[in-house]
Amino acid sequence: MSLLVVGLNHRSAPVSVLERAALAADTQAKLLQDTLAAEPATEAAVLATCNRIELYADVDKFHAGVAELSTLLAQHSGVGLDELTPYLYVHYEDRAVHHLFSVACGLDSMVVGEGQILGQIKDALARGQELHTAGRLLNDLFQQALRVGKRAHSETGIDRAGQSLVSFGLQQLAAGADPGLWARGKRALVIGAGSMSSLAAATLARTGVAEIVVANRTRSRAERLVEILQQGDDTTVRAHAVEMSAVGDELTRADVVVSCTGATGLVLTADALAGALGVTLDAPAETGTLTVTPDPADVDQHAAWVENGSTAAAPTAPPRRVTLPAQSTGPVRLALLDLAMPRDIDGAAHRIDGVRLVDIESLADASADAPMAADVDQVRTIVADEVAAFGAAQRAAHVAPTVVALRTMAAGVVAGEIARLDGRLPDLDEKQRAEITQTVRRVVDKLLHAPTVRVKQLASEPGGAGYADALRELFDLDPQTVAAVSRADLNDPNRGRS
């Protein structure tokens, strides 16, 4: 086993770098194909979430593998290698297994203990299987990671240590208030209909919002999500789907917006948000100025003018320029939760009065201070035990084709000797021949039993991979025969099914 992972996450890199390095679905597919075409790698899988991008591979050379995987990540992310390298981490063999198992248990998540990562690991495995880039090692690894994650959640209280990223985000929007009381009666707009957006919609429904509007580029997916929401037994929320073109109108009626799409550019600009709140920006948000039209005083002046019955043209006051505050300080009219990477919502929105914005960057800052549950130590013990068991199983599996090839060779020797005996003793009846054949087979089996059992035991220990090589040398086994056994095992359609 030569498992290598190269990646970056919210702990190793700032959100601005993660945002630029985010990989679209088609880019992930191309990355996998290019990784497999690279010389050091024979298998590959990509785990890409809103706060991590990791490339897993089975490599035959460590240093060449690190260089190749790092280069491929840089090429496909569009971030220069020199800029990306300081933020990359590398794990190899057992440390790589430990890393993925920890990720699966939620120990490496932005919100410790969240369970959504299991679905993302499952998606990464499915992508590798679909593209035929995940072979025996990565299939075993990712399936075992899923089992370890489920075990951690079922056997410990790690769920109490954290929550989903959506729940944590809503908690931040509530700003210390009870999320249920804060959300009660509100109208929510959910942009996107993928796994994260679906989770957001379901969480909002359970939290107590009165209405949910789902907008998605594919209307049928938005309608499907609405259907699921309305079928829920634990909520009576009103829900309906709209086209993406209707988002502007829906913003004017929304109290809460959650966005998580696969878009590569902004879905909600500061101008659109300001317009929804009745203000317009006449300069880029970064300048810190906006134009409010009309001025509240002008509204009073206009009303008085109408009451006087004047037929003259209405007075037009010049736009009033004001300075944007560093962040919204007044009552929150629109709460925004951006769970996309790269971001869907203009970061300057938080400077528009009446807007509260929580995005991946602010969630990362908030989660850094989140308390760790006592159950985390128990999960770490589970991870350590599972890593040891996985390593032992992989090492034992490595020697298995050699053992099978040895027994195949022994069976061939027995068959040859029985055939030769038939030539020398043609008068043996079937009963005598069967007894002799069985006796020879028992002798061979007994001679092979102890060494084959022992070599499996030794191979499962750290450093035991060399025992398979020793067995091949001692019995002069044909390497092609061993390789054929390995290929047959790899192509077994029932292998690794859970």
Residues with catalytic function: 50
Query: For residue 82, what are the CA distances in angstroms to 5, 88, 265, 488?
Result: 19, 11, 24, 43
Looking at residue 285, the DSSP 8-state letter turns out to be: G
Instruction: Give the CA angle between residues 76, 77, 81 to the nearest 5°.
Output: 90
| 324, 281 Cβ separation under 8 angstroms | no
CA distance linking residue 309 with residue 407, whole number of Å: 106
| 117, 103 Cβ separation under 8 angstroms | yes
Tokens matching residue 420:
């030769």
Looking at residue 380, the DSSP 8-state letter turns out to be: H
Instruction: For residue 375, give every residue at least 6 positions away whose Cβ sits within 8 Å of its Cβ, in sequence order, or none.
Output: 113, 156, 157, 158, 160, 161
CA distance linking residue 405 with residue 483, whole number of Å: 9
CA distance linking residue 154 with residue 466, whole number of Å: 37
Tokens matching residue 176:
């210390």
Give me the phi and psi of 62, to 5 degrees please: -65, -60
CA distance linking residue 435 with residue 438, whole number of Å: 5
H runs (alpha helix) in 252-290: 270-276
**3-state secondary structure at position 52:** strand
CA distance linking residue 73 with residue 8, whole number of Å: 10
CA distance linking residue 24 with residue 5, whole number of Å: 19
Query: For residue 80, what are the CA distances in angstroms to 20, 71, 83, 143, 463?
Result: 11, 9, 5, 33, 38
| 391, 462 Cβ separation under 8 angstroms | yes
Query: For residue 146, what are the CA distances in angstroms to 138, 143, 153, 312, 393?
Result: 12, 5, 11, 74, 16
Which of 281, 291, 274, 290 is closest to 349 using CA atoms? 274
**For residue 8, what are the β-bridge partners?**
53
Tokens matching residue 33:
């194909």
CA distance linking residue 346 with residue 304, whole number of Å: 39
Tokens matching residue 414:
């027995």
